Chains A and B, each alone.
Chain A
Amino acid sequence: MSATRTGNASVLSHALKDALIAAIVAFGLFMLLLGFLTDDSRGPLRLLSRPVLLATTVGIVFVGRFLISLLYYNAAALRYYLGELWTAICNFAREFKIALLVVLLLIGGGWIFFSPKDWPLILITVATILIGVRFGFSAALLVFAALFPVAFYNNPYFLGIAIIILTYVMLGWGLNIVVGLAGLLDLGYVAFYAVGAYSYAIIAQAYGWSFWVCLPLAGLFAAFFGILLGFPVLRLRGDYLAIVTLAFGEIVRIVLLNWVSFTNGPNGIGSIPRASFFGIPFNATDEGFAAKFGLEFDPTHRTVFLFYVILALALITNWVTIRLRKLPVGRAWEALREDEIAVRSLGINPTNTKLTAFAIGAMFGGFAGAFFATRQGFISPDSFTFPESALILAIVVLGGMGSQIGVAIAATVMTASFELFREFEQFRLVIFGFAMVGIMVWRPRGLVSTREPTAYLKERKTISVEHVAEGRG
């Protein structure tokens, strides 16, 4: 159906017809599941009918579909305009200086307006803007992250969220090595996260070693698991590999759940040793951090410290990834993603190459896991379920597979919105699922879809979506 349709009556009737069909389908879909509620709160199962809910939902579908159809038939160019709009938004974002200025001025201005005492924030805003104007968006983001605890020192809630966000940024970057660079869909990434967390918890409790000794060990264990899993399965094709990693993730979780003598089963491991400031604990004693540095004891010290630890870990992940992309192995990953057969015919061993990506990705997952364990102080298999894997994958997918900054933005947006809409637990997950579908349908390369090539002739050019033909091989 194209734009050749003319005449208001025909447009209207077509839109009505579409809307009616959509409403009938919606009625069929929602008739039982939304129209009725199975309730067992009082005795045996009984039915409560919810006609209003059903009617509202079907009505929304009808109106929504009607409007969409109306727009569609009226303006065949709608798609074009939407595309234009998107390009304009992208261009605007690319003109980071203006965007950054406006956004930060708004945030900063608003904040100062409401609470003038927050001078550190003003400072940060100014610093960020200056850095952003001079060195670009990424640098500005980095400065903002680095100065974040200074601004929000009095707001442990914000600091807590920032730590969670950074954990997911790190996990996203770790998985990005596997999914974004090597093109291997890993649905069991959370298994490595779990291995890291449990190995830290168990080693730290059994031997009393400090966080800084256990952290590399946790990463090593996770990498070892990555190799263990990867070695047999990496010769599988894309979607088979995805399912196998999913199965592996579930196996790890079930083992954690049932191996009670080792992992304490569903009750989890509690009172995991906290990270210390290179040997100096964060407590109120004379040996504590506050006393040693002549400060007044404040539990926020630990939070700030944890913030910088995870920031450093995430940045290391990022830095290693960027460096690796310039090494032969990184180039081989990306080549493998684009065309496995070509890579094989050039004499690169695909299994070994994939294995390195898998192991390195797993290692960063393990680091993040160890950090998670020390931050929480308590871990149980509930934290390492498949939806967690799906969330990390969604961060990578939504951010644009292979794009570091995209992954960071996606992690921030997702985690922050998850925090904001905490009351709407299931709604947000439904929307999150639809977002995954929508991104695949409309922007399969993710929100940040341009790529900086690592190898180039004479000058560096960004590559637009059309030229990045991922996974055709």
Chain B
Amino acid sequence: MEYFLQQSINGFALGSIYGLVAIGYTMVYGIIGMINFAHGDIFMVGTFIALIAFLILVAIGITAIPLALFLMLLIAMLLTSLYGWAVERIAYRPLRGSFRLAPLISAIGMSIVLQNYVQLAQGARVKTLQPLITGTHTVLDLGNRFVVQISNIQILIVLTTLALMTGFTWIISSTSLGRDMRACEQDLKMAALLGVDTNRTISLTFLIGAALASVAGMMYLLYYGVIDFHIGFVAGVKAFTAAVLGGIGSLPGAMLGGLLIGLIETYWSAYFSVQYKDVAAFSILIVVLIFMPTGILGRPEVEKV
């Protein structure tokens, strides 16, 4: 029981990270109907930017952890969203109206570019960051050999995710940008006819998606402390799985899917086998797409002639 609870806490923290990345997939899919294959690599770029930003902050003498973390977050969000914007501008915008698979192929190309660019710029070796946020709280102690704990970093991850989700939901539901985005999601052409600047809206969608991914990246860096240029691929596929599981196009769905994937992966690793934890996530992807392509909270898609 304690073990299960502990795994649930771990899974929840991991799931929050997946959820933040999944929002980027689901938003882009909702609006322009493409799988942004490079999004996982944007997440990876986010981890690297956060790492370098932190090292710079330390080098210039900002060592107060809360301030450093806050600045790190700002820098990471700013610069990573620039990457999201640039990728959209270079690889996707010229392809609007091209045949269906073109953006996906282009996205795969962009993913290869980003991975190898980071490897080229920062080397292939694994980067390790010592834990910045330490300390744990005991959640449950029944006097058995096993004590359920929640660490400060896990609390931070969940709180940050909650805060971001709240802010993001507010943007979508109450700002003019959010209204534009919802309009584009429903009907891109009609929205354009009614005066929505669709190109700008799509750009901003990529920007926001990348910013959220960068936060996820920073959390990943703080949580695991080990990153390399390759983490984007698997994390991306899992986050995409989360988006599909929650129902692609649905924002609460992405978060829910992320949490579920995080929990499933953690339980799988805890009770079955760590080696096959990626297989679990990939199998879920396949099974969901075959049997429940609309996901948990998604709307069924009507095929138009």
A32-B52, A470-B99, A471-B101 given; A251·B108 CB < 8 A: no
- Which of the residues A25, A37, A434, A469 comes within 8 Å of B82, measured between beta carbons? A25
Show the binding face of B for A, using Cβ within 8 Å.
34-35, 45, 48-49, 51-53, 55-56, 59, 75, 78-79, 82-83, 86, 90-91, 94-95, 98-106, 108-123, 125, 127-130, 233, 237, 240, 273, 275-276, 278-279, 282-283, 285-286, 289-290, 293, 303, 305
Chain A residue at minimum C-beta to C-beta distance from B90 = A437
By Cβ-Cβ distance, the 9 closest A-B pairs, closest first, are A436-B109, A433-B112, A433-B113, A247-B282, A471-B99, A440-B106, A429-B116, A437-B109, A426-B120
A-B contact pairs, 14 of them (CB 8 A): A32-B49, A32-B52, A38-B122, A47-B59, A239-B101, A242-B35, A243-B240, A248-B286, A258-B273, A394-B109, A440-B91, A440-B102, A440-B105, A471-B99
- Which of the residues B52, B98, B286 comes within 8 Å of A47, measured between beta carbons? B52
Nearest CB of chain A from residue B142's CB, rounded to whole Å: 35
- Which of the residues A36, A185, A434, A471 comes within 8 Å of B109, measured between beta carbons? A434
> B105 touching A185 by the CB < 8 A rule?
yes
Chain A residue at minimum C-beta to C-beta distance from B98 = A444
- Which of the residues A32, A250, A341, A435 comes within 8 Å of B237, measured between beta carbons? A250
Q: C-beta contact mask, A1-37 vs B, less than 8 Å → 1, else 0?
A: 0000000000000000000000001001101111011
> B101 touching A254 by the CB < 8 A rule?
no
Interface residues of A in 221-256 (CB under 8 A from B): 232-233, 235-236, 238-240, 242-244, 246-248, 250-251, 254-255
> A45 touching B128 by the CB < 8 A rule?
yes
Q: How large, as a class, is the contact surface on chain A?
A: 35 or more
- Which of the residues B128, B233, B285 comes within 8 Å of A244, measured between beta carbons? B285
- A472 beta carbon closer than 8 Å to chain B: yes
Interface residues of A in 42-56 (CB under 8 A from B): 44-47
> B112 touching A47 by the CB < 8 A rule?
no
- Which of the residues B82, B112, B113, B278 comes within 8 Å of A28, measured between beta carbons? B82
> B55 touching A45 by the CB < 8 A rule?
yes
> B286 touching A233 by the CB < 8 A rule?
yes
- A187 beta carbon closer than 8 Å to chain B: yes
Task: Report the separation of the CA atoms of residues A243 and B104 in the bound assembly, to the nearest whole angstrom.
Answer: 10
Task: Report the separation of the CA atoms of residues A47 and B58 in the bound assembly, to the nearest whole angstrom.
Answer: 10
> B112 touching A44 by the CB < 8 A rule?
no
Task: Report the separation of the CA atoms of residues A435 and B286 in the bound assembly, to the nearest whole angstrom.
Answer: 30
Chain A residue at minimum C-beta to C-beta distance from B103 = A440
B residues near A444, Cβ cutoff 8 Å: 95, 98-99, 102
- A447 beta carbon closer than 8 Å to chain B: no
> B121 touching A390 by the CB < 8 A rule?
no
Nearest CB of chain B from residue A47's CB, rounded to whole Å: 5
Nearest CB of chain A from residue B213's CB, rounded to whole Å: 15
A246-B237, A472-B99 given; A33·B52 CB < 8 A: yes
- A40 beta carbon closer than 8 Å to chain B: yes
A residues near B293, Cβ cutoff 8 Å: 236, 240
> A232 touching B100 by the CB < 8 A rule?
no
Chain B residue at minimum C-beta to C-beta distance from A179 = B101
- Which of the residues B123, B276, B285 comes within 8 Å of A258, measured between beta carbons? B276
A residues near B119, Cβ cutoff 8 Å: 426
Nearest CB of chain A from residue B182's CB, rounded to whole Å: 22
Task: Report the separation of the CA atoms of residues A243 and B82 in the bound assembly, to the nearest whole angstrom.
Answer: 26
Nearest CB of chain B from residue A232's CB, rounded to whole Å: 5
> A40 touching B286 by the CB < 8 A rule?
no
A residues near B303, Cβ cutoff 8 Å: 341
Known: A32-B48, A426-B117. 11 other contacts (CB 8 A): A33-B117, A37-B121, A38-B127, A232-B286, A240-B293, A242-B101, A257-B275, A426-B120, A436-B105, A441-B106, A444-B102
> B275 touching A33 by the CB < 8 A rule?
no
Most buried by A among B95, B273, B278: B278
B residues near A33, Cβ cutoff 8 Å: 45, 48-49, 52, 117-118, 121-122
> B120 touching A437 by the CB < 8 A rule?
no
- Which of the residues B100, B111, B278 comes within 8 Å of A239, measured between beta carbons? B100
Task: Report the separation of the CA atoms of residues A387 and B94 in the bound assembly, to the nearest whole angstrom.
Answer: 25
- Which of the residues B34, B104, B237, B305 comes within 8 Å of A185, measured between beta carbons? B104
